Structure 1
Amino acid sequence: RDLRLDDDVQAVVLRVNSPGGSAIASEVIKEELELLREEKPVIVSMGNVAASGGYWISMAANEIIAQPNTITGSIGVFGLFFNLEDFSENVGLSWDVVQTSPLANTQTISRPKTEEELALLERFVNQIYQRFTTEVSEWRNLSMEEVEAASQGRIWSGLAAERVGLVDRVGGLQMAIEVAAEAAELGDEWTLQEYPRTRPFAERFLEELFGTSSQVVLPEPLESFRQQMETQLSNLSTYNDPQGLYMRLPFEIEIE
């Protein structure tokens, strides 16, 4: 939104390097990118991973450029709901509930879901998946048969994604910058500015806890503990969708 309202910005290259996340957050980002696209060119440059929710937001771009080894696609949706019943019993914590209808307590973490609740939540997941595939069909100009062949949670390399129509071309960040400048008809009179980085939740939390960020090495065994905690917090902080619905790779990918 800031870039859309900034008259000095003539084109935007969005670097996507994400396995996805909250379904609601993905839609909010995509809506802003659609508004941005109405006023200036938006080119997506995919990094190592641009999957699921990462692909959802990419669809709103004028053009998608993936690296040859980009892990992309993962057009799928799942629901994740925590259940702390056993944990609560182990620590002596009890729960009291007052509700006015059978489904008023659906989002509780104090017990397993009932069959009726699971059926309702599964319907939500299916509705979002149907919307996901429909939007892929519309944005990428693919038939629903072609989309189904490329979706159902499948992941593709950048090269394979180009063949099935999920991306426009294969290349790196520099190519995306050149395409954006050309789309905005900037000629040679332009400069490149990187939008400020937002510090992740895990980094801010660890700085509060240890008085230092992850960029500073602590003495052992604190350093090992900090690294483990950073990974766990980073993973846990991604599961914050208000409805518990996610467009995300269901596993972690580590590229060395």
Structure 2
Amino acid sequence: MKRVQADAILNRPLALSLGRAGILKREIEASGVLAFFDDNDGWFSGAPVWRSGNVAAIGIGGVLLAGKGSFYPYVTCYGDIRESFDEALADDTVQAIVLAINSPGGMVSELFDLADHIYASRSKKPIVAILADEAYSAGYALASSAQTITVPRTGGSGSIGVIMMHTDLTKALSDAGIAVTVFRYGEHKAELNSVEPLTDGARERAQADIDRIGEMFIDLVARNRGLAPDAIRDMKAETFLGEDGVKLGLADAVMSPDAALEDLRANLT
């Protein structure tokens, strides 16, 4: 069994839908780690590539993390996605690339560079995002970098926002009779740790970082989808079901994954 450390999630900016973020936070606080079954239990790892004739489909599923070499179900790493994407891009037998996405989002680290790379590759080959179900937050950032997006009628898009979670354990420690002394060099060193209450300054600095990253996210989606930044801000990181996302310009058509793939293949020259 392999594990994802808690510091990959807590006290870091996340482009992750709120429901999944809350679940991850509770599980981490309970155990300190997230545990997943490995490949021996039948789950795929990395960002697998499936071929359908001259189309390469890259699987992007579950929580998205920085780095590469993931062997966990419900987790895909940005480095693995880029490696699979670049291989498909360089393969002359591949005429189009599908980002097959079912993800609630994930880490901000490495996200924007990968999204920019996909966007910049549009001129080389057709790149389409086919949502198997949902593409929220970081998952939507990647989907928006493709030329077109299809979403199932019961699938979802959106959650264009950023979240960061901080756990304050000071009362629990005090109730347990535990006193923690923090020694630091540098006034702001480790100011988001869980054994001290947040200062007003720490809270303001953390919010400023989240606001800055949130504006980067809005600018990325506005460029990728040709939408007005204010229109995206007005969505307030809401998620949208099927046709509702299409009406707002977050997706191009409501289609099942199978129908979307057949439509793509039929329109390739």
Q: Which amino acid aligns with 1:108?
A: N
Determine the C-alpha separation between the residues in 1 that align with 2:232 and 2:249.
9
Measured after TM superposition, the shift of residue 38 of structure 1 is 5.0
What is the percent sequence identity of the aligned residues?
Answer: 23
Aligned to 1:42: 127
- 1:90 positional shift: 5.4
- The answer for the alignment partner of 2:251 in structure 1 is 167
Is structure 2 residue 165 aligned with structure 1 residue 74?
Answer: no
Q: Give the superposition deviation at 1:140.
A: 0.9
Q: Which amino acid aligns with 2:240?
A: W
Report which stretch shifted further, 56-65 or 1-10: 1-10
Q: 3-state DSSP class of the match of 2:160?
A: coil
TM-aligned CA deviation for residue 132 of structure 1:
1.4
Number of residue-to-residue matches in the alignment: 184
Q: Does the alignment pair 1:115 with 2:200?
A: yes
1:21-32 to structure 2, matched below 5 A, reads: 21-24=106-109, 26-27=111-112, 29-32=114-117
Task: Decide whether aligned partners of structure 1 residues 182 and 87 sit closer, same or farther in structure 2, where only a CA change above 3 A counts.
Answer: farther
Is 1:136 aligned with 2:221? Answer: yes
Inter-partner Cα distance in structure 1 for 2:185 and 2:259: 57
Q: Distance in 2 between matches of 1:160 and 1:64?
A: 13
Where in structure 1 do 4 or more consecutive aligned residues deviate above 6 Å?
Answer: none
The whole-number CA distance in structure 1 between the counterparts of 2:132 and 2:172 is 39
User: Is the contact made by 2:119 and 2:224 (CA closer than 8 Å) also made in structure 1?
Assistant: no
Is structure 2 residue 90 aligned with structure 1 residue 5?
A: no
In structure 1, stretches of 5+ residues that fail to align are 186-256
Matched residue SS, 1:117: helix
Letter in 2 for 1:181: R
**Equivalent-residue separation in structure 2 for 1:95 and 1:35 (angstroms):** 49
Which secondary structure does the structure 2 equivalent of 1:77 belong to? coil
Shift, 1:124, TM fit = 0.7
Relative to structure 1, the CA distance from residue 120 to residue 88 in structure 2 (aligned partners, 3 Å threshold; closer, same or farther) is same
Q: Which residue of 2 aligns with 1:83?
A: 168
Distance 1:43 1:123 in 2: 34
Work out whether residues 162 and 214 of structure 2, in 8 Å CA contact, stay in contact via their aligned partners in 1.
Answer: yes
User: Counterpart of 1:124 in 2: which secondary structure?
Assistant: helix
- 1:73: Cα distance to partner? 1.0
Q: Which has the higher helix share?
A: 1
Change (3 A) 1:96 1:167: same
In the TM superposition, what are the counterparts of 1:223-234 in structure 2 within 5 Å? none
For residues 138-197 of structure 1, what are the alpha-carbon distances to aligned partners after superposition, in whole Å with 9 as ceiling and x for unaligned? 111112233233x21222111011111111111011233234435653xxxxxxxxxxxx
Letter in 2 for 1:172: S
Which one has the bigger strand percentage? 2
Q: How does 1:144-163 map to 2 (within 5 A)?
A: 144-149=229-234, 151-163=235-247
Q: Deviation of residue 94 (structure 1)?
A: 4.7
Deviations 1:39-96 (A, max 9, x none): 4322111133221222111111111011112122121222112233344445665534
- Which range is displaced more, 154-163 or 48-57? 48-57
Higher relative contact order (CA 8 A, sep 6+): 1
Q: Distance in 1 between matches of 2:123 and 2:179?
A: 53
SS of the residue 1:130 aligns to: helix
Q: Report the equivalent of 2:183.
A: 98
SS in 1 for 2:195: coil
Unaligned runs of 5+ in 2: 1-82
* Contact 1:20–1:52 (CA under 8 A) maintained in structure 2: yes
Q: In structure 2, what is the equivalent of residue 54 of structure 1? A: 139
Tell me the TM-score normalized by structure 1.
0.63
